[in-house]
Chains A and B, each alone.
Chain A
Amino acid sequence: MADVALRKVVKRYDDVEAVRGIDLDIADHEFIVLVGPSGCGKSTTLRMIAGLEDISDGDIMIGGDVVNDVPPKDRDIAMVFQNYALYPHMTVAENMSFGLRLKHYPKAEIKARVTEAARLLDITDLIDRKPKQLSGGQRQRVAMGRAIVRNPKVFLFDEPLSNLDAKLRVQMRIEIKKVHQKVRTTTVYVTHDQVEAMTLADRVVVMNKGRIEQIGTPNELYHKPATHFVAGFIGSPAMNFIPCRLEDVGGALQLRLTDRIAFALPPARAARYSALPRTDKLLLGIRPEHLTESHAHLGPGVEPFDTVLDVTEPMGMETLVYFGLDGTPVCGRVDPNAGATDGAPMRLAMDLNNMHLLNEETGVVL
């Protein structure tokens, strides 16, 4: 097992820069998830760590050694591919033991390792089958088994669950987490699914356009996003962004959303934002769960306002309500018993203690 470090790593394809100088330190035993929209460079980064892509600039270190020019086979890594990449002409056992056989491990040890990995992944009964005779979930397990038996320094996962159906994906997600808890191998996991990223990772790396937007624990990313992109990418339904401006009214700082709606900021927030130039174009970032139905005993910093709902989506444990504020679509989350109906007026409350204020031009969370 080992730590992994990326130093100003760049990947260029002709004139396109897919990865634009990223720095990343992954600790031993850590589970890191690279997440971002397609084309953000996350898979390229993973493939550079694997050695399947040359790096154009910078250094990659595994266990303290620079591996820029080390071929994949000598990096002591294992990778699980999106489409499993199982060898179709080999049985499950042969697939899993292929790497060990190439390295001429003793037969008894190969058998012991394969048996152990099969037991861990609950595929002991499938050991003599060919990949074609397996379901998607089983193939995924075999692919993981192939990685585990090698006992590598680093596991690399390249969108391993995207070929599975939703139910199986949840199941395998838990499975992967369990396996990591048992084997504790340093893991780099690539996905475009932010739920997967949040549930699996010790730390999440959010990437966009070849750059790292933010690195942090799932909770940090959710509650303290650093940029507009991260704020919008993490969380489902996504955070609302409402154009707004700051106003001084009688010595207090107030946030104006529309001509009709303006809220006095809670003292802590007012202190934080008071130095901002009043001319800046700002965005209020507020998650749907902080836009709920109003009631008689609202706490400090929770401000009521009236609106007319466009659409409601009853989800069972909650109802999502959609409405517009000066043309900006906004989503809120209300209690299913709050009486939200399509097209009806409703009194909602905004929890400004959990608001974010963003600079619209720079995208930075202030």
Chain B
Amino acid sequence: MADVVVERGRVARATGARKGKSLRNALGRKSTVAFFLTLPLILLIALLVLYPAFYSLYLATLNKAMTKFVGLGNFTFLFKRETFWMVVQQSCIFAITAVIFKALIGFIVAHFVHNIPGKKQRKWRGMLLVPWVIPPAMSTLAWLWLFDPSYSAFNYTLSFFGVGPIPWLGDTFWARFSVILVNVWYGAPFFLIMYLAALKSVPDQLYEAAAIDGANWWQKIWHITLPMMRNIIAITTLFSLIVTFANFDIVRILTSGGPLDTTHLFATWAFQVGIQSSDIPLGACVSLFMVPILAVAAIFILRDVTKRGNEA
């Protein structure tokens, strides 16, 4: 009997020791340490991203007074409104056109800057980056004055050529043109700087080899530069597409969505519906629509990047 008790005690002690050991092992493991090191960031993201995201999901299911759960009622309501479809259309036009022009201009200017020798290049790089470093809300105010129909610099200059006055922000076409123009002006330097970095990473000898192989400048761009920059182009485009799609300040300041809501983007319309018209659930609902559209774009572009990352 006594033997059994002693035996039991030993077993119990042994299990206790094993538990302590496995806990120590778990704490010592690299993955555990890594987890604890990233924990502050994970908490921060949870607090600033996940909480608002789920809160807006919750809000989107309430009625206007936020007293009753209406399920998908707000969504079905949106689908029936013409303005909503116009916003979808305008957001796509705005984002795609602006990104294409930003990428094109960034690419072309990056080539010019790349070919400027040493010290001068730093100066040009600095100057060309200015639009990107000015807070867009401020620079857009300057553009607002430039676009003024009656006494602005643009229309004044055009009057010498017998053109205009153009209702820059008063006509649907010109208002859309103007918001895209300002967005391109603001965003192109980002592309410029990314492409310039990518250009610098292409070894000169590849161009020399191509020159000897008989490539002209256009063939060098097509067969060497573009393929070498593919990943940077994809990532920059995706990033810019997301930021442009979610743009708020430029449209808000230039047109406030007008004329007749034709320049509204998701963000500005969500603001108008949610804050200005005090229908927060509907506003949350509008802004949630950006998620699936951007998610699809992200999956497509990033999938391509990882694929090429593996093969390269």
Partner-B contacts on A (CB < 8 A) = 50-52, 71-73, 77-79, 81, 83, 85-89, 98-99, 102-103, 130, 132, 146, 150
Pick the most buried of A78, A79, A89, A130: most chain B CB atoms within 10 A of its CB: A89
Render B208-248 as a binary contact track against A, CB cut-off 8 A, 1 for contact. 11111111100100011001101000000000000000000
B161 to chain A, nearest CB (A): 42
Provide the bound-state CA to CA distance between A50 and B213, in Å: 11
B194 to chain A, nearest CB (A): 19
Could you tell me if B211 and A73 are in contact, using CB atoms closer than 8 angstroms? yes
Which B residues touch A52, using CB under 8 A?
208, 211-212
Could you tell me if B212 and A102 are in contact, using CB atoms closer than 8 angstroms? no
Could you tell me if B212 and A79 are in contact, using CB atoms closer than 8 angstroms? yes
Which A residues touch B216, using CB under 8 A?
73
List which B122-154 residues lie within 8 A (CB) of chain A.
none
Provide the bound-state CA to CA distance between A130 and B216, in Å: 24
Could you tell me if A73 and B215 are in contact, using CB atoms closer than 8 angstroms? yes
Which A residues touch B211, using CB under 8 A?
51-52, 71-73
Given the known A-B contacts A87-B206, A89-B228, are A103 and B312 also in contact in the complex, defined by CB atoms under 8 Å? no
Besides the contacts A50-B208, A73-B213, what 11 more A-B pairs have beta carbons closer than 8 Å?
A51-B211, A52-B212, A72-B208, A73-B212, A73-B215, A77-B212, A83-B203, A83-B205, A98-B210, A99-B212, A99-B214
Could you tell me if B205 and A81 are in contact, using CB atoms closer than 8 angstroms? yes
Which B residues touch A89, using CB under 8 A?
227-228, 230, 312
A345 to chain B, nearest CB (A): 56
The residue in chain B whose Cβ has the minimal distance to the Cβ of A52 is B208
Render B258-299 as a binary contact track against A, CB cut-off 8 A, 1 for contact. 000000000000000000000000000000000000000000
Pick the most buried of B205, B216, B219: most chain A CB atoms within 10 A of its CB: B205
Given the known A-B contacts A88-B312, A98-B223, A130-B312, are A78 and B212 also in contact in the complex, defined by CB atoms under 8 Å? yes
Let me know if B3 is at the binding interface, CB within 8 A: no
**Shortest 4 CB-CB distances between A and B: which pairs?**
A99-B213, A85-B205, A73-B214, A85-B209
Label chain B's interface by main secondary structure.
Answer: helix
A83 to chain B, nearest CB (A): 6
Could you tell me if A132 and B206 are in contact, using CB atoms closer than 8 angstroms? no
* 20 pairs, CB–CB < 8 Å, chain A vs chain B: A52-B208, A52-B212, A73-B214, A73-B216, A77-B212, A85-B209, A87-B210, A87-B223, A87-B224, A88-B228, A88-B312, A89-B227, A89-B228, A89-B230, A98-B213, A98-B215, A99-B213, A102-B213, A102-B215, A102-B219
Let me know if B311 is at the binding interface, CB within 8 A: yes
Could you tell me if A132 and B209 are in contact, using CB atoms closer than 8 angstroms? no
A164 to chain B, nearest CB (A): 17
Which A residues touch B212, using CB under 8 A?
50-52, 72-73, 77-79, 99
The residue in chain A whose Cβ has the minimal distance to the Cβ of B230 is A89
Which B residues touch A102, using CB under 8 A?
213-215, 219
Which A residues touch B208, using CB under 8 A?
50, 52, 72, 79, 81, 85
Pick the most buried of A85, A99, A130: most chain B CB atoms within 10 A of its CB: A85
B232 to chain A, nearest CB (A): 13
Pick the most buried of A51, A72, A77, A132: most chain B CB atoms within 10 A of its CB: A72
A92 to chain B, nearest CB (A): 14
Which A residues touch B227, using CB under 8 A?
87, 89
The residue in chain B whose Cβ has the minimal distance to the Cβ of A78 is B212
Provide the bound-state CA to CA distance between A85 and B230, in Å: 18
The residue in chain B whose Cβ has the minimal distance to the Cβ of A79 is B212
Provide the bound-state CA to CA distance between A85 and B228, in Å: 13
B187 to chain A, nearest CB (A): 28
List which B184-212 residues lie within 8 A (CB) of chain A.
203, 205-206, 208-212
Which B residues touch A79, using CB under 8 A?
208-209, 212
B228 to chain A, nearest CB (A): 7
B30 to chain A, nearest CB (A): 29
A198 to chain B, nearest CB (A): 27
A148 to chain B, nearest CB (A): 13
Provide the bound-state CA to CA distance between A83 and B203, in Å: 10
A146 to chain B, nearest CB (A): 8
A113 to chain B, nearest CB (A): 14
The residue in chain B whose Cβ has the minimal distance to the Cβ of A50 is B212
The residue in chain A whose Cβ has the minimal distance to the Cβ of B311 is A130
The residue in chain A whose Cβ has the minimal distance to the Cβ of B216 is A73
The residue in chain A whose Cβ has the minimal distance to the Cβ of B213 is A99
Which B residues touch A86, using CB under 8 A?
209
Provide the bound-state CA to CA distance between A316 and B209, in Å: 44
Provide the bound-state CA to CA distance between A89 and B230, in Å: 10
Pick the most buried of B203, B205, B209, B230: most chain A CB atoms within 10 A of its CB: B209
Could you tell me if A85 and B214 are in contact, using CB atoms closer than 8 angstroms? no
Which B residues touch A103, using CB under 8 A?
214
Provide the bound-state CA to CA distance between A316 and B171, in Å: 92
The residue in chain B whose Cβ has the minimal distance to the Cβ of A103 is B214
Which B residues touch A99, using CB under 8 A?
212-214
Provide the bound-state CA to CA distance between A132 and B308, in Å: 13
Which B residues touch A83, using CB under 8 A?
203, 205
Which A residues touch B214, using CB under 8 A?
73, 99, 102-103
Provide the bound-state CA to CA distance between A14 and B34, in Å: 54
Provide the bound-state CA to CA distance between A33 and B156, in Å: 69
Provide the bound-state CA to CA distance between A96 and B138, in Å: 54
The residue in chain B whose Cβ has the minimal distance to the Cβ of A150 is B213
Provide the bound-state CA to CA distance between A51 and B203, in Å: 18
A117 to chain B, nearest CB (A): 14
Which A residues touch B219, using CB under 8 A?
102
Provide the bound-state CA to CA distance between A253 and B208, in Å: 59
Which B residues touch A81, using CB under 8 A?
205, 208-209
